[in-house]
């Protein structure tokens, strides 16, 4: 018989607060057209994107995360000292070590919170949320900060017609804490590594360092392959998340998919047969694809504008490089 004392965590976990930060510079499609042969109409029809935000030198991954996190902590009605864990999902923090989460935890004023980064691309927020839920139920933290943050403008090839218009910068954060009732459903997540070549960094950092390539590494993708995978496979994953939570599409109030492409969003809405009463996040139009930051940023905007309200039931799903995915049903803060 084990002599280990059982954990004493909360029965359930929930999102208690949300915050977002978008860089001050707004970049319209016209700026993108300076370096690629395209048109504003083509970009909008292919992606739905009208503008995106690009960070300046002061708007670092850490700085944007701290701004978003401060708002989330205030929204949750707690203090930074109560945060027991900081999870940061990003692919655009260019220091291999230490994790940017440790800097964020310190500058926010947490009391030596556990802090680490994860790399799960556009599904990173869902991965972080799942880890935070486990920490709270297991009892290793009472409150956990989950951050999705990207400076994808640093990894964008402005001469690549397929991707130059897609990416934006920003940070979104949520505070996850204890709950007396289920408010974060089971996560349906996974990976399809056999498709990893469809979204990837062009070359390893070592090739750039050694001089084998002169062009700084960037993100590239096979657009049609990604589109087909997202539309057909991710709709199935979203349905599995609904089933795992014990609800149907008719029970949903809000749908917050990863803000990759509005055509993908529209196709998923149709495949899932969501009622017209369901509010659908379309933050991609003015924020672009911010990878791990896109879901919390979209969530924050829906609540701020009143399109969604506290207590609403929302389906969230992220998917991207890896290929990886994560979907769950949550109660909005």
The full DSSP string for 198-254 is: GEEESS-HHHHHHTS--SPP-EEE-HHHHHHIIIIIHHHHHHHHHHHHT--GGG-SE
Retrieve residue 122's tokens: 């556009």
What residue ranges define each of the domains in the chain, with the CATH number in brackets? Answer: 12-182 (3.40.47.10), 185-332 (3.40.47.10)
pLDDT in the model for residue 103:
98
pLDDT in the model for residue 8:
84
Q: Is the CA virtual torsion 113, 117, 118, 121 positive or negative?
A: positive
Q: Which residues lie closer than 8 Å to 162 by C-beta, 6 or more apart? A: 220, 221, 223
User: Angle CA(29)–CA(34)–CA(36) in degrees, nearest 5?
Assistant: 85
Is 12 in contact with 182 (CB distance < 8 Å)? yes
User: pLDDT digit of tens for each residue in the chain (333 aa)?
Assistant: 788 888 889 999 999 999 999 999 999 999 999 999 999 999 999 999 999 999 999 999 999 999 999 999 999 999 999 999 999 999 999 999 999 999 999 999 999 999 999 999 999 999 999 999 999 999 999 999 999 999 999 999 999 999 999 999 999 999 999 999 999 999 999 999 999 999 999 999 999 889 888 899 999 999 899 999 999 999 999 999 999 999 999 999 999 999 999 999 999 999 999 999 999 999 999 999 999 999 999 999 999 999 999 999 999 999 999 999 999 999 999
pLDDT in the model for residue 2:
83
- The residues carrying an active-site annotation are 122, 258, 289
Pairing of strands 324-331, 313-320: antiparallel
**Separation in Å, CA 20 to CA 72, 103, 317, 329:** 8, 18, 18, 20
Q: Which residue has the tokens 């319209």?
A: 28
For residue 153, the SS3 value is helix
168 phi, psi to nearest 5 deg: -135, 180
pLDDT in the model for residue 39:
97
Q: Which residue has the tokens 């795992």?
A: 244
pLDDT in the model for residue 178:
98
pTM to 2 decimals? Answer: 0.96
Give the C-alpha separation, 265 to 258, whole Å. Answer: 8
Q: Is the CA virtual torsion 119, 19, 166, 239 positive or negative?
A: positive
Helix, strand, coil percentages in the chain from 3-state DSSP, rounded to 5: 40, 25, 35
Burial 128-158 (b: 16+ CB within 10 A, else e): bbbbbbebbbeeebbbbbbbbbbbbbbbbbe
pLDDT in the model for residue 49:
98
Give start and end residues of each alpha helix (H) in 14-147: 29-32, 40-47, 61-76, 100-108, 124-138
**Separation in Å, CA 55 to CA 75, 81, 172, 178, 226:** 24, 29, 14, 34, 26
Give the C-alpha separation, 66 to 200, whole Å. Answer: 28
Pairing of strands 219-221, 199-201: antiparallel
CA dihedral 268, 285, 19, 142 (to 10 degrees): 20
CA dihedral 260, 265, 268, 270 (to 10 degrees): -160
Query: How close are the terminal C-alpha atoms of the chain, in Å?
Result: 41
pLDDT in the model for residue 6:
80
Give the C-alpha separation, 256 to 112, whole Å. Answer: 32
pLDDT in the model for residue 308:
98
């Amino acid at each position: 018989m084990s002599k280990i004392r059982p954990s004493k965590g909360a029965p359930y976990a929930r999102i208690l607060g949300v915050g977002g930060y978008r860089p001050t510079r707004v970049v319209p499609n016209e700026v993108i057209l300076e370096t690629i042969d395209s048109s504003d109409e083509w970009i909008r029809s292919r992606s739905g994107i009208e503008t995106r935000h690009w960070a300046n030198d002061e708007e670092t991954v850490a700085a944007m995360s701290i701004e978003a996190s401060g708002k989330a902590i205030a929204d949750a009605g707690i203090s930074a000292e109560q945060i027991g864990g900081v999870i940061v999902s990003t692919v655009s923090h260019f220091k291999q070590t230490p994790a940017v989460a440790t800097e964020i935890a310190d500058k926010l004023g947490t009391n030596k919170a556990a802090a680490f980064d994860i790399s799960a691309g556009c599904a990173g927020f869902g991965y972080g949320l799942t880890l935070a839920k486990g920490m709270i139920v297991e009892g290793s933290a009472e409150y956990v900060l989950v951050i999705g943050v990207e400076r994808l403008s640093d990894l964008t090839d402005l001469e690549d017609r397929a991707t130059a218009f897609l990416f934006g910068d920003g940070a979104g954060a949520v505070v996850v804490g204890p709950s007396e009732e289920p408010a974060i459903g089971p996560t349906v997540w996974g990976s399809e590594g056999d498709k990893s070549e469809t979204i990837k960094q062009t070359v390893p950092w070592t090739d750039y360092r050694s001089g084998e390539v002169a062009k700084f590494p960037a993100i590239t993708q096979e657009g049609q392959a990604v589109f087909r995978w997202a539309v057909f496979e991710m709709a199935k994953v979203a349905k599995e998340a609904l089933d795992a939570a014990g609800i149907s599409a008719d029970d949903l109030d809000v749908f917050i998919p990863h803000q990759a492409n509005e055509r993908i969003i529209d196709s998923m809405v149709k495949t899932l047969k969501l009622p017209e009463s369901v509010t659908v996040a379309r933050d991609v139009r003015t924020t672009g694809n911010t990878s791990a930051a896109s879901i919390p940023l979209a969530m924050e905007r829906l609540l701020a504008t009143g399109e969604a309200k506290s207590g609403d039931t929302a389906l969230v799903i992220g998917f991207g490089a890896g290929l990886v995915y994560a979907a769950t049903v949550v109660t909005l803060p």
